Structure 1
Amino acid sequence: MLLVIVVATALLLATIIVHGFAVLLLYRIGMTPLMNAEGMSPLRRLHWSYFFVIGFVIAHLIEIMIWALAYWFTGELKDMEEATYFSAITFATIGYGDVTLEGRWRLASAMEGVNGILLFGWTTAFLFKVSAMLWFPRKPPGEAAGVDTD
């Protein structure tokens, strides 16, 4: 059981690191447009929204594959297709139950579910902030509508 906890913790930390790099990369690429969103057309804002969403989908797919590789390498699941499917439904906390792990490795799948909840929450928080910056940019106090600065 200790080996499973150690391996699952390492996988959890690896996916957190992947997600952190995704956040940094997406923000670095999108920082200038986010800071200048006020002058953008709605279509351009939508394109930047797509950029962030697709970026996080890719990050989540990488994170799911990290867990899937572990299930496959340990021999818990027979092939990579089954391991990927199981990892995806576990990470997303869907848990259909048509594919399950045997014995001690079940604890790892529980940790993957917790991992998925945390990383989806992080993604949601980031996308919420990005959406606010893109769609509701703040004007400097002197430029607010109806405010006389004289």
Structure 2
Amino acid sequence: MDIGDAGSWSSDWLWAVPLILIVVAIHMVGLMLIDRKVVTVLGRASGRHRFLPWFVVVMGITVILATILHGLEGVVWALAYLMLGAMPDSKAAMLYSISSMTSYGHADVYLEARWQMLGALEALNGMMMFGVTTAFLFSTMQKLRMFDPS
């Protein structure tokens, strides 16, 4: 594959756009559920506890759930790589997906040359989702501060 041949990337884009939309939908619904169930419920209970330890517990649970959410999104991409034959097995597909999504890039696994643009598009999607998660965590901290009695 000639990397300079942008025409060969059309199927990468045809796969990436729906995958990005699926991941964004999963992410938004997941963050909404985290906000409604964890932050709201635990935030209300904070009046019965010392604020700082409770704040740490709620934020810790929120971060763990957001991490699981990102892992689930990595599974979506890994399944696509397996379906396309871009990765030889599920272990390599998941490692590549999480490595790409986080822009870590140090795992010694590579997509088939034919699908390398798809991996770059996953990295773009991952950066956007981590940005959304960062904004969500900041918003969560702001909400929890409202429960601080001091």
Which letter maps to 1:50? G
Name the structure 2 match of 1:31: 40
Task: State whether residues 4 and 105 of structure 1, in contact with CA within 8 Å, keep that contact through their aligned partners in structure 2.
Answer: yes
Paired with 2:73 and 2:126, the residues of 1 have a C-alpha distance of 9
- 1:126–1:92 Cα change, 3 Å: same
Task: State whether residues 71 and 77 of structure 1, in contact with CA within 8 Å, keep that contact through their aligned partners in structure 2.
Answer: yes
What is the identity percentage for the equivalent residue pairs of Structure 1 and Structure 2? 29
Deviation at 1:132, TM superposition (A): 2.6
- Which has the larger Rg? 1
Name the structure 2 match of 1:110: 120
| TM-score, structure 2 as length reference | 0.83
Task: State whether residues 13 and 118 of structure 2, in contact with CA within 8 Å, keep that contact through their aligned partners in structure 1.
Answer: yes
- Deviation string, structure 1 residues 13-38 (Cα, Å, up to 9, x no partner): 11000000111101111224436655
Task: State whether residues 68 and 84 of structure 1, in contact with CA within 8 Å, keep that contact through their aligned partners in structure 2.
Answer: yes
Name the structure 1 match of 2:85: 75
1:55 aligns with 2:51: no
- Give the total of aligned pairs: 140
User: Any stretches of 5+ residues in structure 1 without a counterpart?
Assistant: 146-150
1:18 aligns with 2:20: no
Deviation at 1:45, TM superposition (A): 2.1
| TM-score, structure 1 as length reference | 0.83
Paired with 2:57 and 2:89, the residues of 1 have a C-alpha distance of 37
1:137 aligns with 2:149: no
Deviation at 1:113, TM superposition (A): 0.4
